[in-house]
Every structure is written in C-alpha cells, then in structure tokens.
A and B are shown apart, each in its own frame.
Chain A
Amino acid sequence: MNQSAKSEILTTDGIPLKISLKRAERLNKIRAFALVLPLALFIIITFAFPILSMLLRSVDDKQINTVFPKTFEVYKQWDRKDLPPEELYASMFHEILSAEKLQIGKASTRMNYSKSGWKSLLKKSKRKFKKIKEGPYKEQMIKADKRWGQIEFWKALGEMVDPITFGYYLNAVDLKYDSDKNVIQQPENRRVYNSTWIKTLKVSVLVTLFTLLLGYPVAYLLATLPLKLSNLLMIFVLLPFWTSLLVRTVSWIVILMQKGIFNSILVWGGVIADENRMQLIYNQTGTLIAMTQILLPFMVLPLYSVMKTIPPTYMRAALNLGAKPMHAFYRVYFPQSVPGISAGGLLVFVLAIGYFITPALVGGKDGQLIGHWIAYHLKTSLNWGLCSALGGILLVVMLVLYWVYNKVVGIENIKLG
C-alpha cells in the first residue's frame, strides 16, 4: 500500500497525475456537454416534448368529465337498457345550466365525436333550458328537444366515463366502444382508416421499389461515367430536386391528364384509340407516378455517394479472374452498394409514408394517404385526439419497421457516403 503510494507519479505541482488527468478530462467533458447542450435542449423542446404531448393527447379524455362531473357519477348507475331515470336528467339539466358557455362548447365538440348531433343538442339546450323553472325535468327536456328522449344519445356518453380513453386509437383503426365500453366495429360506411393505412403502406413500399429500380442504374452511371458526363447527369438529377414540389406535382397533372401530353402522344402514335385514353391521374396511379419522380433524388444521391467509394478495380479484378459480367456485378459490385440501397430505401420510405401535398393534388378518388386524415383532423374537424392517435400509430409503425429492418439488414449497414 505504502509502496504504491510512493510510486505514484506526481505532476510538477505535486498533484498525483491520475487526479490531474481526471480534472483535465472533467473539464473537457463539461465543455463537450456544454457544446451539445443547446442542441440537446432544442431536440427535447421541439421533438421529445411534442411527441410526448401528442401521445398524451391521444388518450386524454378529461375534457367532458370536468364539465359534467355529477352527471357521470349518476350515469354509472344507469342500466343502459331504457331511458335514464329522472335523476340523471336532473343532474344533466343543472350541469348544462351552470356550466360556462365555453365549457359547453368544448364538451359538445368532444361529445359529437361519439354521436353526431350532440353539438347542436347541447347548444340548443343551453338556450332553451333557461325557460324551465322546476322539475321533474325529464319530460320538459324531451319537449325542448326530442333527442333527449333518444337512448342512443345517452348511450354515447358511456365511452366518455373514464378520464383516459383508447377510443381515439380504436377510431384510427375503424373500431369503437359501445356504451358498455366493449370494442366493436365502426358501421361499414364509416370504415376508412384501415384501408387508408394499407394503401399508405402499399404506396410507400411501391414508391421505394420504383425509385430503387429507376435510381440504381442512374447512380451507377453517375459513379462510373467520366467526370464531364457525370456532372451533366448530376445536374439532371438535381434540377428537379431544386424545383418546387408544387410545380413538379402540377406538371405531372399536365402530362398525365386524359387530354394531356402522354395520352395525346399515344393516341397520335396509334397505340390507343381516342376514346380509350387512360386515366393516369386523380387516382392511385397518379400518386404513385408523381411520388416516384419527386422522391427519386433521395434514392439516387445516397446510392451515388456509396457507389463513388467502390473502387472500379474490384470489378475489373473479378472480370479478369473469369467471372461473367452479370456474375461479377452480382457477387462483387452489388454487395458493396447495399449500404446505399439501405440508406436510400429508408429515406424514401420514411418520406413517402407521411406524404401529403402530392397525394392531395393528384390522388383524386383513391390516392389519398394517411397524411390526408391527419391534416383533416388537425385543421378541419379539430379532433386533435384522433389526429394524435393517427400520428402515434404512424410513429409505432415506423419504429416497428425500423426494428425489423435493423434485424434483417442491420442498421450499421446504412451509409450515406
């Protein structure tokens, strides 16, 4: 023990080297941390918090419990077979009258999600109930608006009893709660989300595949052609990339319309008859074509930067050793370009799955993706709960795919250059 203490190396200040080094390192660590801190804070404030808040919003159902607390207490005792007892009517009556106008407005928005009509019912009732002086209330309420006598409206309250709900998530996959909180399917003509989810995944996968098929040869040319030619080619790749997204989308409309350039050329060339012009836009085909073109650079660029690092000598060596060109390409070149395929594929897929503007303009009858519904509920219906649930599912889908991807391809295989 003594021996080791003595053999300790001291700095010129007489402090043991170990401690001195630690001190210097600590300072470095603090400095490094301080450098990262702004970015870390930025990410926490603009990324982690919003996502957390979004996820909380997707299960939060306190909005109406706080407006009608007593009513919901009484509600729990109701058997939900016949119209509710007078007691429930009475407490609803008093709480509508005593609640502030704004609270009624907010509560009615929420209640309208579970049954269309609550919005106007509450608003009208708030006005009309002032004339009702004393109980019993049941009949007077039904007289004020006959919907108070319809059991469906009362039953619809059942799914809002708890302050936390999974109703929005159910809604996002075409399910819902019935009045006893059993999970049931949405009525058939309201089932739109599942088909949109499937369509979104399908379009994203196809766009990724198409961009790969189209982008791979281009990237190969870019990486192998002499500099002068490849620079020119690069400009062709980048030029549309720099053009506004909207302009490119609208150009596709002009090209693909039935009376548009593409169809007209085919008719002129006698390939199709004038009355058989193809419907290539305002449907899913249009979405696919436009998105493939718009996302192409996101595939070409990572591919190119990876291919650029593959020494051409490898291929020459393989050919020299007697491999046929296809074989040499498949065994030597292709494996080395896989990191670029992974990077491009992931990039294109992630962008495609949340695409909004292009499908909105060219999607027409069946080319809308899930982004359409997220925007709809954010801006038009103001159903931010459902909006958050859709976003939450999108996030989970992405994470699951990323996990699968990591298992299959391996995330360390991604390279951007």
Chain B
Amino acid sequence: MFKLIKSAFLGALGLAFAATAYADFTFVSWGGAYTMSQQKGYIDTWDDRKNGISVENYNGGLGEVRAQVESGNVIWDVVDILPSDAIAGCDEGLFEELDWSTFPEAPGGVSYVDSIPENGTGSSGPISACAAPQIWWTYVVFFDPSAFPGKKPKRIKDFYDTKKFPGKRGIHTWASANLEMALVADGVKANKVYDVLETPEGIDRAFAKLDTIKDDVVFWSAGAQPLELVKSGEVVMSIAYNGRVGAAKLSEGANFDYIWEGQVLEGDWVAIVKGSPNKDEAIEFLKHATTCEAQAEQAKYITYGPLRTCGLDIIKKNEPWFHTGVNVLEHMPNTKKKVKRSVFANPAFWADNGTEIGERFSAWMGK
C-alpha cells in the first residue's frame, strides 16, 4: 500500500514538475543570459542532433530531478547543475555515470580528464563521475566608482570596513561564499579558508566578521537584484555573480568595478538524468558541448570562463573574443592572476555542513 501511494505521489509530483509537453530532447538550465549563451555556444553549433531540442529553465537544486527519477517518469535529459548537486546527485544515483575515455581530447593529446583543472576537490578532472564541465563563475564584490568620490575600495577587506567606506552593502541570503569572503577579508589566505572553516572557531570567526557589517547589510535573493541595488545607489557595494556584472558592463555599458580578491570560484556542470529516454543522444550532446571549441564559443556571449583550459586558450589567442568586439578575458574569473586570489568553493565541505551552517546563517540574518 505504502509503495502504491508513494509511486502515485511521485508520479503526480513528476507530472506537476514537468507540466510542459514532451519534447524530443530537453536541456534544462538557469535561464537568462546564461542559457542564451549555452543556446548559441552549444545547441546552435550542434549539427548531429537527431530531434528538436527544447530548452527549459529551472531554479537549481535537485528536487525536480529526484522526483522524476524516483517516480520513473523522467522528462528532463540534460541538466545544468552546481558542483554540490553534481556530487550529491551522483552519490544518490540521480545521474548517469559517464565514460570519460570517449570524450574529446584537448589539442596536444591532453586527455579529457587532464584538461579540466583543479576545481575545489583537490584534484583535476571532473568533479564527479556523472558531470561534464561547463563554466567557471564567481561570487565577486563590485561597486559603482562614482559612489566613492575620494578613495576607491580595492581590497576585499574594504567591503567589510564601513568606517573607511561608509554605506550599505549587498550580500546574498545564503551562507556559502559569504563565510569564505568574510574570512579572506579577516586575513585568512584564500587557499586556507576551508582549513579554518573546518573548525568551530573558524565558523565563529567568519560570523564575527559578518557582524561588523550587519547593520549596513541589504540582503538579495535573485541574481538580478545586486545590480539594481548598486545602480540605484541603494547600496554602495555588493556581492554578485560575475557574469551579471560582466553583462551589465559589456552589453549595457554600466560603470562598475570589480574587487578581484577573495572571490569564490565555482564550476558549473552538466549531467544526464538517470533513466533519460534519450541517453545516447544526451551523451553525444555532452561530448559536443564540452569540446574546446564549443566551450570557447559560449564565452562569446557571457563573461563566465570555459571550465576546460583548452577553451580559455582559444580565447587568449583570438581576443577580442566577445561578440560585441571587445576583450573578454579581463572579465573572466579563471585567468591565472585571478585564480591565485580566489577561493575554490569546496562542495564537499558544503555537502557536510550546508544545512547546519545555513540554519545558523538564517538565525544570524534575523537577529
């Protein structure tokens, strides 16, 4: 009886989540300029497609995927996911495992696995056996220089210094990246951040640093908000996704500056939902979408960096690369100089501690 109820419920949930009609091949991503860049970089350049591709948007998280897999009613084929979900989804059997030896090599005989640089797990190569590489993106601090007539903020510690740089700060409503950036501002080396966070004292230290700006914080929850906050003068500085800032600068000519220090560098990945009806085609799609050329092509339309190093090499050789005819590399988060000053987001740490720290962060917000 329980089984029956369960499958009925999951079936209904699966149906509800996938209210749209069946398409031949469904690619699910985050929407906006990012999905548009994927459309142009991967889908439009894919000549081997058998059927139509329908692109859908979602809001992240594995809720929909889990409901589809557990109900056996799989409608999505390929999903664009964060590192933590790439790992958790693979552990829970929500995604298909992939055979990297069949994936395209980089020039010079560099194997597929070796062409993916270290990405927070401590070693190079794909983050999990199920996920193929997409892009690098960061949480980064940015500001409108006209808000600071005198000295401009340069270091991450300036973000937490409301005496030297008075005014409100925009930060997001969840804990990840907030704690890391606070620690870097407090003097922790970028590559030692998680060693500090692993200890209870380290977490206290991060919260103590956040306390110093608590009264001047405006919290945002959607990626477009920080740009609006800074543009309107509601806050003088904010944390944001670097691609959003880049798009505002390059496409709309907004006058923003970044603070490239302590930014939290995270990958983005694509995976095939377990039981996908178009598995073979999906694998071919992933192979195409992660070729060095397709990776570079996507970066013409957004300032997220290709995850495979060979994609970045193509851009380096061919600047100005952005589709409007300007240089794009200086806006990408994964150039050598910027990577040195970045914190590699550690998905394993957040898989272990995400809920606990998340609750604490919420309690802190409401205090």
Q: Which residues of A pack against B, CB within 8 Å?
A: 45-46, 49-50, 52-54, 56, 101-102, 104-106, 108-109, 112-113, 116-120, 123, 189-192, 195, 253, 257-260, 282, 360-361, 363-366, 368, 376, 378-383
Contacts and interface: CB of A to CB of B under 8 A. Distances in A.
B22 interface: no
B358 A376 contact: yes
Contacts of A113: 355
B219 A382 contact: no
B9 A53 contact: yes
Contact of B360 (A49, A56, A189, A379): A189
A109 B90 CA distance: 12
Interface in B217-235: 217-222, 225, 228, 232-234
A402 B8 CA distance: 28
A383 B91 CA distance: 15
B30 to A, nearest CB: 13
Contacts of B52: none
A101 B93 CA distance: 9
A54 B364 CA distance: 30
A187 to B, nearest CB: 9
A145 to B, nearest CB: 13
Contacts of A52: 5, 9
A187 B182 CA distance: 23
Contact of A116 (B12, B88, B218, B355): B355
Classify the interface of chain B: helix, strand, loop or mixed.
helix
Nearest to A122: B91
Top 10 A-B pairs ranked by shortest CB distance? A379-B61, A105-B91, A53-B9, A379-B63, A102-B93, A364-B219, A366-B366, A116-B356, A189-B360, A50-B9
Contacts of A116: 352-353, 355-356
Contacts of A104: 91
A56 B2 contact: yes
Interface string B58-79: 0111111010000000000000
Nearest to B70: A384
A368 B355 CA distance: 17
A360 B220 CA distance: 9
Contacts of B13: 50
A320 to B, nearest CB: 56
B88 A109 contact: yes
A374 to B, nearest CB: 11
Given A49-B8, A105-B92, A382 B62 contact: yes
A116 B359 CA distance: 12
Nearest to A117: B352
A117 B353 contact: yes
Interface residues of B, number: 48
Contact of A53 (B5, B62, B234, B348): B5
Interface string B346-367: 0010011111101110111110
Contacts of B228: 253
Nearest to A108: B91
B356 A190 contact: yes
B49 interface: no
B234 A365 contact: no
Contacts of A102: 91-93
Interface in B310-367: 348, 351-356, 358-360, 362-366
B230 to A, nearest CB: 11
A360 B173 CA distance: 9
B228, B232, B359 interface centre (most CB from chain A within 10 Å): B359
A382 B63 contact: yes
Given A109-B88, A382-B63, 11 more contacts: A108-B91, A116-B356, A123-B91, A190-B363, A192-B363, A195-B363, A360-B222, A366-B365, A379-B59, A379-B60, A380-B61
Given A257-B234, A379-B62, A382-B63, A105 B356 contact: no
A309 B355 CA distance: 53
B6 interface: yes
Given A56-B2, A361-B222, A379-B63, A49 B9 contact: yes
B228, B232, B355, B365 interface centre (most CB from chain A within 10 Å): B355
Interface string B1-33: 010011011101100000000000000000000
Nearest to A101: B91
Given A116-B353, A119-B351, A379-B59, A49 B359 contact: no
Interface string B78-119: 000000000010111100000000000000000000000000
26 contacts: A49-B12, A50-B9, A53-B6, A53-B10, A54-B9, A56-B6, A102-B92, A105-B88, A105-B90, A106-B93, A117-B352, A119-B351, A189-B363, A192-B359, A253-B228, A257-B234, A259-B232, A360-B221, A363-B221, A365-B217, A366-B366, A379-B64, A380-B61, A381-B354, A382-B63, A382-B66
B218 A378 contact: no
B88 A382 contact: yes
B36 to A, nearest CB: 20
B177 to A, nearest CB: 14
Interface in B167-220: 168, 173, 217-220
B9 A381 contact: no
Contact of A50 (B12, B59, B233, B366): B12
Contacts of B12: 45-46, 49-50
A112 B61 CA distance: 18
B195 to A, nearest CB: 15
